[in-house]
Amino acid sequence: MGRYVARRLLQMIPVFFGTTLLIFLMVYSLPGDPVAGLFGDKGASPSTLAELRHKYGLDQHILKQYWDYITGIVLHFDFGTQFRNDRPVTEVLGDAFPVTIQLAALAFAFELVFGIGLGIIAGLRAGRLADNAILIFTLLIISIPVFVLGFIIKMVFAFQLGWIQPNVSNDQLLSEMIAPAIVLGGLSLAYVARLTRTSMAENLRADYMRTAVAKGLPKRRIIGVHLMRNSMIPVITFLGTDIGALMGGAVVTEGLFNVKGVGGLIYESITRREGSTLVGLVTVLVVVYLVTSLLIDLLYAVLDPRIRYA
């Protein structure tokens, strides 16, 4: 087990360098000059542009730029500075990540509790009324685009009923995050419910279930331990990859609810050609993906006794 974890951790190193280099090259190859973009229609003298390019190291060869950037990260934990406002990227990331983690955690808890809950109900009553109702509900959520769902929630709860503020304020209170978290987690909730329902309904007919019933075990134990443990494997796989998606892919939700998190920052960095910010963001997200996928693999062994890591 320990060796397995060590090997997986070592594998992260080439993945880390590979992804950062790829992103770096991609940003570099986008059309548009970040320095000239600062000046808009009015333009600037060539000497000013050259001076700025020199200041940000953009006059160096691309690989040299990448080398300087990576050594900065590895040796000093320095992600560089942003072109436009001279803010250190670590500070920018430090501003964006806490609120995103808050939002993602809430959304995750929401989809975990309600998704699995609905899935269990539907799975145990497969083919009956509750199952069909949940099927319609989840299909509805899957088919509604995120921004429509967001607008509906705002219209009803903020403007019609006046229960919530339409947007997240600058204090970023946890209570303000509930509405965006529901919108963000809604889609995954539906997927989790569908996955749970299918694998539960399938496993209900498995041999070991019949054995458990025949042994005369109490119903709670049959469902809670024997059925749940096995049925959770596909669900956990989905949930694990979803954490990263919740953190990095919330551009639309963040924009809708005025959350100044990672999704919006990624979008802004691309349009402004802020390579260093973008690579910093992606690096953190890559690490999140790698760590969660490792945790999921380890969880498999806990859930299914047949899986062993030497």
Partner 1 sequence: MRGAKSAKWVAGAIIVALAATACGGGNDGKGDSAGGKVDPNGIFSVELGEPEKPLLTGDTMESNGSAVMAGLFSTLVDYKADGSLEMINAESVTSTDSKLWTVKLKKGWTFHDGTPVTAKSYVDAWNWNANIENAQGLASWFADIKGFEKVHPEEEGAKPTAKTLEGLKVVDESTLTIELSKAVPYFAHKLAYIVFAPLPESFYKDPAAGGQKPVGNGPYKFKSWDHKKQIEVVRYDDYKGPNKAKNGGVIFKNYTTLEAAYEDLKSGNVDVLRQIAPKDLPVYRQDLGDRAVDQAYSAIQTIAVAFYADQWKKPKTVDPRVVQGLSMAIDRATITKTVLNGTREPATGWVAKGVLGYQPNAVEVTKFDPAKAKELIKAGGGVPNNKISIQYNADGGHKEWVEAVCNSITQATSVECVGDGKPDFQADLTARKEKQVKSLYRSGWVLDYPVNANFISDLFRTGAGGNQGDFSNKELDAKIAAADSAKTLEESVKAYQAVEKDLVNYMPSIPLWYYKVNAGYSENVSGVAYGQDGDPILTGVEVKQK
| Residue 174 DSSP label | G
Q: Specify the residue, 137 or 238, whose C-beta has the smaller distance to partner 1.
A: 137
Please give the torsion angle defined by the CA atoms of residues 289, 291, 293 and 299, in that order, rounded to the nearest 10 degrees.
Answer: -150
What residue type is 105 in one-letter code? A
Nearest approach, Cβ of residue 36 and partner 1 (Å):
6
| Contact code string over 234-263 relative to partner 1, x by CB under 8 A | --------------------xxxxxxx---
- Kindly tell me which residue out of 42, 76, 205, 215 binds partner 1, with binding defined by CB under 8 A: 42
Residue-wise DSSP of 5-68? HHHHHHHHHHHHHHHHHHHHHHHHHSSS-TTGGGTGGG---HHHHHHHHHHTTTTS-HHHHHHH
State which residue, 212 or 250, has the beta carbon closest to partner 1.
Answer: 250
Please identify which residue in 60, 167, 230, 292 interacts with partner 1, judged by CB under 8 A: 167
Nearer to partner 1, 15 or 30 (CB): 30
Tokens of 68: 């300087």
- Asked if 161 and 141 touch (Cβ cutoff 8 Å), the reply is no
Residue of 159, 210, 234, 302 interacting with partner 1 (CB under 8 A): 159
Stretch that binds partner 1, among 102-110, 161-169, 207-215, 293-301 (CB under 8 A): 161-169
141 is a site residue for partner 1 (CB under 8 A) = no
Is residue 133 close enough to count as binding partner 1 by CB under 8 A? Answer: yes
Ranges of beta strands (E only) in the chain are none
Nearer to partner 1, 101 or 294 (CB): 101
Q: Residue 204: name the closest of 231, 170, 167, 177 by CA.
A: 231
Using CB under 8 A, pick the residue from 6, 17, 28, 33 that binds partner 1: 33
What residue type is 246 in one-letter code? Answer: L
CB of 204 to partner 1, least distance (A): 23
Tokens 């809950």 sit at which residue? 117
Q: What are phi and psi of 88, to 5 degrees?
A: -65, 140
Q: Please select the residue that binds partner 1; options are 12, 38, 204, 236, rule is CB under 8 A.
A: 38
Q: What's the rounded Cα separation, in Å, for the pair 303 and 76?
A: 40
Question: What residues between 269 and 308 interact with partner 1 by CB under 8 A?
Answer: 271-273
Give the residue carrying structure tokens 């892919």.
Answer: 249
Distance CA 126, CA 131 (A): 6
Q: Supply the minimum distance, in Å, between the C-beta of residue 138 and partner 1.
A: 13
Which range of residues in 10-18, 51-59, 241-249, 295-303 is near partner 1 by CB under 8 A? 51-59
How far apart CA 194 and CA 231 sit, in angstroms, is 12
Question: In this chain, which of 158, 236, 284, 294 binds partner 1, going by CB under 8 A?
Answer: 158
Pick the piece of the chain touching partner 1 (CB under 8 A) from 6-14, 16-24, 38-46, 109-117.
38-46
Q: Is 132 helix (H, G, I), strand (E, B) or coil?
A: helix
Taking CB under 8 A as the rule, does residue 28 contact partner 1?
Answer: no
Residues contributing to the site for partner 1 (CB under 8 A): 30-34, 36-52, 55, 84-87, 91-92, 95, 129, 132-133, 136, 140, 151-152, 154-156, 158-160, 165-167, 169-170, 254-260, 264, 271-273
